[in-house]
Amino acid sequence: MPRDDQDNQEGDDYTRRGFLQFMGVGAGVMGASVLSGSFTGPVVANEADQILPAAAMVKVQLTINNTPYTVLVEPRWSLLYVLREIIGHTGTKIGCDRGECGACTVLINDVPRYSCLTLAVEAENQKITTIEGLMAGEELGPVQTAFAENDAFQCGYCTSGQIMAVEGLLRKTASPSPDEIRRGCSGNLCRCGAYQNIFAAADQAARLKKS
C-alpha cells in the first residue's frame, strides 16, 4: 500500500515536472523568436476575410402582412433585423435581442414568435404578421383600439410586442379566460408595470373582435 502511494506520487511529480519543463522550453523559444524579430504575433484573419462574400447571400421569399417580398439576406440575419433594416417595418421593436422581453414579437402563421430569435431564412414561405399588418389603412385594429382605450402602456416601447401577443392569443382563443390572458401575455415584459391595463385591453379586444 505505501509502495502504491509512492508510485502515484512519483508519477504525479513526473507529470508536473514534465509539464513545467515543456512550458519552460516553449517560453524560451517564444522569447528567442521575439528577440530575433522572427515572431510576428498571433495569426489574425485579414479584414477582407471577415467579410462574407456576395455568394454567401441567399434569396428568400417572405410574405409580410400579405405582401410578398424577395430579399437577399445573410443566413445569420434575424427576422427582426430584416423587418426593420431591410423591409422598413420599424413597428417591431428591438428590446433585449435575446428572447427575454418580447418587444420584437410578431406572428408567424398566427402564432406569436420572437423575431430576434427567428432567422429570416426560417420564415421563408411562412405567413408573417407585424404590428403594421393589424391596421386597415389608418384605422386601428381591435387590439390596438383596446390598448389605446385602456391606457395599456406608459413608455410604449413594449406595446407593439404586447399587442402582437394578444392578437395571437385571440386568433387561437376567441374568448380567453383571465388566466388564459395572463398566460398569453406572460412572454412579454412591461418595465412600466402596466399589466392590469394590458389584461383589461385583452379582455376588451376579445369583445371588439366579436362585434
Q: Tens digit of pLDDT for each residue in 81-100?
A: 999 999 999 999 999 999 99
The grid coordinates of residue 182 equal 395572463
For the segment 142-200, what is each residue's pLDDT rounded down to a tens digit? 999 999 999 999 999 999 999 999 999 999 999 999 999 999 999 999 999 999 999 99
Give the span between the Cα atoms of 145 and 157, in whole angstroms.
Answer: 17
Cell of 59: 434569396
Residue 57 phi, psi (nearest 5): -75, 145
pTM, two decimal places? 0.74
Domains of the chain: 56-210 (3.10.20.30)
Q: Label residue 52 by pLDDT band (50, 70, 90).
A: low
Residue indicated by cell numbers 418587444: 103
pLDDT confidence of residue 179: 98
At 56 the pLDDT is: 82
